[in-house]
Structure 1
Amino acid sequence: MRAPTAEQAAVIRLEGGPARVLAGAGSGKTHTMTELVSYRVDEYLRRLGGTAPERILALTFTVKAADEMRSRLLGRIGEQALKLTVANFHSYALEIVRENAAVLGLEPDAPVLRRGRAWLMILDELAARDLSLRSLDLSDPAGAANKVLTLLSQAKNDLVDLTALRIRTEADLLKADSDELLGVLEERLDLIELAERFEVRRAARGLLRYEDMIELGARVLADPVMGEGYRGRYEFVVVDEFQDTNPAQLRFVELLAGGDLSKVVVIGDDLQSIYNFTGASIRSIQRFEAEAGFEVGSRTYPLAVNFRSGKRILALANDIARAVHPEGSPDEPKLLRPRDGAPPGEIAAFVGASDA
């Protein structure tokens, strides 16, 4: 196993949070995250501080990433890794929901509704005789159903109640100053009505949606009684791909940490956000320090040495990074550096696109 770089070593030896690790592409993010958790356990076993493995939570975005992290930790610290909680957001939230299903009015084995079935349920609502719509175009029922599912997902991921969304839209409708805006708001009210009808039907059948897991998990954690056993469970929380968190997931992490972000280390790169369709916002990683009460940059740890690419490729990547650096970001563009002994690399072709 190669020795860590100075940047990686600074992350691995973190005593706690809040800390924000900005990991560029190919910078050994997963390796560093594994070593960070392992170091905390090693220090605990040597009675030099650290954290007991059962008090550590590592959250990822996909099942595959969680499995890889678990496998690496098993190879690194052996059976101690079995005491850690390593999971992706939705599977861990679903576990919390199932443990509190009775209080939430659900069956413990409540099935998770697949998108195709949800789509068909909305099409049924579109065919209902008592449905009265203002503006929604029903010549494309499949498109209308997709719009309803998108609205529902955005509302759940942004922690916005449908009733509150309806009230806000009705208020905006009264102030609409153009026919175009009027049409947009009337269509949104139609979509909200369909979403509300769908939610009533879904709840009556005891079905869960993918987005419900985080929202219901956060509801459990926020409850003074139900959440008590969870909020103090972990002393050290590591969140991977933090640039892809939406407001609901950010709230979920805050509640798991008992509102104490000094327990939390987040890892990500605002140039690699790929979950915008779930309501993810790069503002989560950009503003993490401010949310934790620290000056921006004061708790930031960069990983900028790239172990994957040649020098020419990195030079091109850095040019692109400067060009697409998020407007209003408190951070400087993250420029990657080649590893020692990196080859020149070769670029056979490059095709770019611009909105300009």
Structure 2
Amino acid sequence: MATLGMHRDFLLEFAALEKPVQKRVFEVFEKFAAATHAGLHLEKLTHQKDPRLRTIRITDFWRGVVLKAETGGSYLLLKVLPHDKANDWAAKHRASVNDATQGIEIRNDVALERATAGLRALAAGEPARLFPASGYPDKVLRSLGVDEEILPIIRLIPDEDHLEALHKVLPEQQYDVLLGLATGMSPEQIDRELVQAYARTAAQPARGSEDDELGTAMARSRGRVALVSGADELLEIMERPFDAWRVFLHPSQYQVAYQESYAGSARVTGGPGTGKTVVALHRAYHLARRLPADAPDGCVLLTTYTKDLAAELERCLELLVTDDSVRARIRVVNVDALANEIVRADRGGGPLKLVFDQKEITARWERITRRLGLDFTDVFLDQEWRHVILAQAVATPEEYLKVTRTGRGSGLGPLKRLQVWRAVAAFEEQLRQAGEWTFLQVCAEAARVLDGRGERPFRHVVVDEAQDLHPAQWRFLRALTDRGADDLFLAGDTYQRIYGNRVSLRSLGIVVVGRSYRLRVNYRTTQEILAWSTALLTGERPDDMDDGKETLADYRSTMHGERPRAAGYPTKAEELAALVVQAEQWIASGVEAEHIGVPVRFIQLGRDIAQALERAGIAACVLKAGRGGPGVRIGTMHRMKGLEFRCVAVAGVNDGTVPMKSAVTAVEVDAQQHQEDLNSELSLLFVACTRAREVLRVSWHGAPSPFLAPVTDPRP
């Protein structure tokens, strides 16, 4: 039986082809998918490295490069290029099977020969070796899939920079192994997280494929090759080339998303761009797909902490799930909206009167302290209420006297605690008298309602951006589904925590021990942007939400590009003028305006930037809740969370703005909370910078943010 495979590199490049060429590519390879290609002419080349590589006519100008099985009926589409470039590519490249993973690999033999010659010349005067035989014996490297032809080359590599220069030259699976070793992973970790991941997630080869080595190797190449079972599937894949992530989950992602079942709650962590959200989407799909046919609609919850992020999850889910019956089983809604719905239903359906203006809330605390004659600031009381009392569901003054105040820097004796409780009781009574609620109170009440019923509305709950949820929200999530197999699946990264909510999952009855997985490879951002942005963190080690510490060790990118640039200007007008010039240059180079993002710390600066761009004739859109028009995307750093752009210009990173003074507790009020707030502001800048896929620019006017000191010359 004929098998058609499509290599990831082809699909990622397919989007750049003109529509008529795309249509013609489909028409040609539809015959392969339907096994009616016998009359098509596959042309061999002279002096080529791999005689199995053939070219096929797409148009007079364009040709496809196809790998044809020596035996059996399998074909792998690798490239569609202009005629001469297709012939040149096919002449230089060769396919092989990785000894460890048994998956297909494509290598550029001509480039490897040139690289080897260059490394030999370098080695004559450079004694350093990145992979000396004494530390990395041949036997160990071979067991990880590094083949005999590559071993002599890698013995010449002096440092990690030279290894990264070989990224596009070495076979990809072997490069992944070597980069992992170079960044500190042990051979055992490499085997477990890379080699065995491929083995565990390999598709089953078709029956009768024993004589079809290519078909078997393609089936074992999940993450790099999509197997096409028919013309309909071929059309579906080609119609969504930008959504290639639907087809190409890396095995390390696939094994987490599609594990048949977890014994309890499970979690995936990882830095920006590692695919946590993609894994969460696929996990929700997997859970919904395996439910019995009579499962009710909406019994799998996919949720996150804001409406904007929930809307993006819903958009992506529509791309992923094409079966209407499976899609109907997944409900997407943000946590607060769902809690509001449950409390409203319990109270007869009327709307809840919500208080969400933080200035109004702190003003109420200030009036209460004045009336009661208490020696506490409004900020301190508000934080004590949220981070201690609501976080631990404290209901009485007796409980408050005994409760631990982990994370709070100001000690409180019994008398002081009773004074705090007087203020809290007065504040909550004011809300009750006015029939008002805060979002966290609604979540706490929704959890109480669900626990009182005993019936749970969902069979499975999948949570994205888990790091930003408050303990009251976690209690609500815990109450949404029965404890048991696959009850909760969490995706998050505490390095991206931007709301300062600390939580111990274990203390809330959410146990992920033995079912926690960390993704290490960034598939969105270049290594240069990643390294620059990570340097901002200057050794910060946030908690991992499970009584441990998170780490970005071994975190790396598969892509390379130019280094980020940071620049200061004497005035705001000059900074905005430079930003307009930069946007004009990006657009002139072929970047669409909608693929440019401008994060700012406060929205007024964003509006000023939009006006400056529009005066220059560049369309601009200031992002609002759930809406975005044409043009350069401008938004607060908070609103940019979960978005990504080809080019990003982070603007207004000034001293006094980043960190924003009003967002940081005064050190004399609570030194520990002061540091927590600084960490949240730093994480916000980190999030803004890592929205960039290809190019990052950071600017300020006046004095630069102190956060920029580790990565740039502070002189404007």
Q: TM-score, normalised by structure 2?
A: 0.39
| Secondary structure class of the residue paired with 1:114 | coil
- Using the alignment, how far apart are the partners of 2:528 and 2:443 within structure 1? 42
What is the one-letter code of the residue matched to 1:280?
Answer: R
Deviation string for 1:68-115 (max 9, x for gaps)?
Answer: 11122123325453542212111111111111126xxxx832311233
What is the one-letter code of the residue matched to 1:87?
Answer: V
Deviates further, 255-264 or 63-72: 255-264
Other-structure match for 2:330: 84
Cα pair distance change 1:211/1:72, threshold 3 Å: same
What is the one-letter code of the residue matched to 1:329?
Answer: G
- Note the C-alpha offset of 1:163: 2.0
- Using the alignment, how far apart are the partners of 1:289 and 1:301 within structure 2? 20
Contact 1:304 1:337 in 2 (8 A): yes
What is the one-letter code of the residue matched to 2:522?
Answer: N
Alignment of 1:39 with 2:397, yes or no, is no
- Using the alignment, how far apart are the partners of 2:391 and 2:381 within structure 1? 14
Alignment of 1:208 with 2:421, yes or no, is no
What is the one-letter code of the residue matched to 1:32?
Answer: V
Please list, as runs of the form range in 1=range in 2, the aligned pairs for 1:83-102 lying within 5 A after superposition: 83-101=329-347
- Using the alignment, how far apart are the partners of 1:149 and 1:77 within structure 2? 43
Other-structure match for 2:477: 253
Contact 1:311 1:344 in 2 (8 A): yes
Identity among equivalent positions (%) equals: 22
- Note the C-alpha offset of 1:28: 2.3
Alignment of 1:275 with 2:499, yes or no, is yes
What is the one-letter code of the residue matched to 2:560?
Answer: P
Q: Say which of 443, 448, 454 aligns to 1:228.
A: 454
Deviation string for 1:147-179 (max 9, x for gaps)?
Answer: 33222222112312252355449xx9xxxxxxx
Cα pair distance change 1:64/1:126, threshold 3 Å: same
Contact 2:450 2:479 in 1 (8 A): yes
Other-structure match for 2:113: none
Please list, as runs of the form range in 1=range in 2, the aligned pairs for 1:166-245 lying within 5 A after superposition: 166-168=400-402, 186-223=415-452, 227-229=453-455, 231=456, 233-245=457-469
Q: Say which of 137, 142, 145 aligns to 2:378.
A: 145
| Secondary structure class of the residue paired with 1:54 | coil
| Structure with bigger gyration radius | 2
Deviation string for 1:14-50 (max 9, x for gaps)?
Answer: 32333211132111222232222223334458x7x9x
Q: Say which of 535, 538, 563 aligns to 1:346.
A: 563
Relative contact order higher in (CA < 8 Å, ≥ 6 apart): 1
Other-structure match for 1:176: none
Alignment of 1:136 with 2:380, yes or no, is no
- Using the alignment, how far apart are the partners of 1:348 and 1:95 within structure 2? 46
| Secondary structure class of the residue paired with 2:288 | helix
| Secondary structure class of the residue paired with 1:323 | coil
Instruction: Provide the aligned C-alpha RMSD in A.
Output: 3.6
- Note the C-alpha offset of 1:333: 4.3
What is the one-letter code of the residue matched to 1:63?
Answer: K
Alignment of 1:67 with 2:311, yes or no, is yes
Q: TM-score, normalised by structure 1?
A: 0.73
- Using the alignment, how far apart are the partners of 2:411 and 2:274 within structure 1? 46
- Using the alignment, how far apart are the partners of 2:536 and 2:366 within structure 1? 43
Other-structure match for 1:329: 548
What is the one-letter code of the residue matched to 2:528?
Answer: R
Contact 2:541 2:549 in 1 (8 A): no
- Using the alignment, how far apart are the partners of 2:537 and 2:369 within structure 1? 45
- Note the C-alpha offset of 1:321: 7.2
Q: When the two structures are aligned, how many residues end up with a matched partner?
A: 312
5+ residue gaps, structure 2, are 1-242, 567-707, 712-716
Cα pair distance change 1:289/1:192, threshold 3 Å: closer
Contact 1:310 1:344 in 2 (8 A): yes
Contact 2:462 2:488 in 1 (8 A): yes
Please list, as runs of the form range in 1=range in 2, the aligned pairs for 1:9-48 lying within 5 A after superposition: 9-17=254-262, 18-44=265-291
User: Which protein has the bigger helix share?
Assistant: 1
Contact 2:463 2:491 in 1 (8 A): yes
Contact 1:306 1:337 in 2 (8 A): yes
5+ residue gaps, structure 1, are 138-143, 173-179
Contact 1:214 1:248 in 2 (8 A): yes
Cα pair distance change 1:201/1:316, threshold 3 Å: closer
Other-structure match for 2:15: none
Cα pair distance change 1:317/1:334, threshold 3 Å: farther
Contact 2:394 2:400 in 1 (8 A): no
